[in-house]
Amino acid sequence: MHKMQGQTGKKRIGSRGSALEQAPSLGEIQGLDLANLKISKTQLEEEAMIQFQAQFKQDLKPRPVPGLSERQINDHFDVKYKGYVAKFNEIQKNLKEADKPKANPNYSGIRELLVERLYCHNSIKLHEAYWQCLSGAGDPPDLIKQMISEDFGSYNAWKEEFKACGLSARGWSVCGFDLDSGRIFNVLTDTHSIAAWNVVPLMIMDMYEHAYYIDYGASVKTYVEEGFLPNMSWNYAARMLNRHPLAQHRTSLLKAA
Ligand SMILES: [Fe+2]
C-alpha cells in the first residue's frame, strides 16, 4: 500500500525550486504506489496478450447429410477442427514468452509461432463457416442469386466455376464478396494460411483430403458432386449479408464505377 508522506517525509523545496519541482507527482496526488502500479501494468500486458482464446464451438457440428457419413463428420469435427482450436490457444499462450528481440525472417521462435498461428486461425474461421455451409439444400435466397447471376451470368455458371475451383484446390474453394469491388469471386486457396483480403466468405467448400477420405477415398470429384454440392446451405451467406450491409455497399460501388 502507498504510504502517504507525513510532514516529516515531505520534500524540501528550496527557495529557488521551480514550480515543476514543487508540484506533487501524479502518484502523490492520487495516493498511488507507483512501484506496485508498474507491476500491475506488466500483469495487464501479459493478460492482454493471452486474453483471446478460441472456442471449440460444439453447437456448429453439422448432422450427417446424404453423402457425408457421421464417421466422416465426427473425424473432421472432433479431431481436425478441435485440433486447430487447441493449437491456436497453445500458440497464444506461448507468444507471451517469445523472444521478440530475436525476431528474424529466416528463423526465429516468434516467427514460427506467428506463422503457425495464422495457419490455425484461418483454419478455425474456414471450418466454422464450412460447418454452417453444410447442412441444407437448395438455391440461394433471391438477393444472393441475383448478385451471383449479375457477376457470373447465371447461378449454374457460378456453380460450375465454384466446383472447378474446388477440384483445382488443395485447400479450399471459397465464394466471397469482395468489399473493394462489390463483386463476387470464387477464391482458390491451397492452404489455410492463404487468404484473399477484404473478402467476406459466403460459401465455403473444404478440399483438404481429411474432409472426404473416409467416405470417398481419393474420389474427390464424387465428394464434391455427392457430398458437398447437394448439401449446400445458404443460411450462412444470408447471415453474412445481414451482418454487413453488403447489398447496399455493392449498389453504391457499382453506381460509382
Ligand atoms: Fe477440414
Domain count, the chain: 2
Last residue of a domain, one of 132, 155, 185: 132
pLDDT at residue 66 above 70? yes
Question: Are residues 165 and 93 part of one domain?
Answer: no
**Separation between Cα atoms, residue 194 and residue 122, nearest integer Å:** 8
For residue 137, name the pLDDT band (cuts at 50, 70, 90).
Answer: confident
Q: Which 3 state secondary structure label does DSSP give 183?
A: coil
Instruction: Say whether both 105 and 167 belong to one domain.
Output: no
CATH code where residue 76 lies:
1.10.287
Going by C-beta distance under 8 Å and a sequence separation of 6 or more, which residues neighbour residue 246?
A: 177, 200, 240
CATH code for the domain in which residue 151 is found: 3.55.40.20
Same structural domain, 183 and 112 = no
Residue 126 lies in a domain: yes
- What's the 81 CA to ligand 1 centre distance in angstroms? 7
- Centroid of ligand 1 to alpha carbon of 45 (angstroms): 34
Give me ligand 1 centre to Cα 253, in Å: 34
Going from the Cα of 179 to the center of ligand 1, the distance in angstroms, rounded, reads 26
Looking at residue 96, what is its pLDDT? 87
User: How far is the centre of ligand 1, averaged over its atoms, from the C-alpha of 77 (Å)?
Assistant: 8
- Residue 213 maps to a domain: yes
Rama region for 154: left / alpha / beta (φ>0; ψ in -120 to 50; rest): beta
Q: Which three cell numbers stand for residue 168?
A: 483445382
Residue 241 lies inside a defined structural domain of this protein = yes
C-alpha separations of 29 from 6, 23, 178 in Å: 14, 10, 53
Task: Tell me which amino acid residue 246 is.
Answer: L
Regarding whether 237 and 185 lie in a shared domain, the answer is yes
Q: Are residues 152 and 120 in the same domain?
A: no
Domain extent for 168:
142-256
Q: Give 185 Cα–ligand 1 centroid separation in angstroms.
A: 21
Let me know whether 157 and 237 are in one domain. Answer: yes
Task: Report how far ligand 1's centroid is from the alpha carbon of 193 (Å).
Answer: 13
Burial of 54 (0-12, 13-18, 19+ CB in 10 A): middle
Mean pLDDT of 89-108: 94
Cα–Cα distances (Å) from 153 to 126, 150, 203, 256, in that order, read: 27, 6, 18, 21
Instruction: Write down the pLDDT at residue 217.
Output: 97
Residues of the chain with pLDDT > 90, as a percent, come to 72
Both 214 and 126 in a single domain? no
Among 213, 163, 224, smallest CA distance to 188 is for: 163
State in Å: Cα 250 to ligand 1 middle.
31
- Of 132, 151, 166, the last residue of a domain is 132
CB 166 within 8 A of CB 153: no
Q: Assess if residue 248 is contained within a domain.
A: yes
C-alpha 1/C-alpha 149 separation (Å) is 69
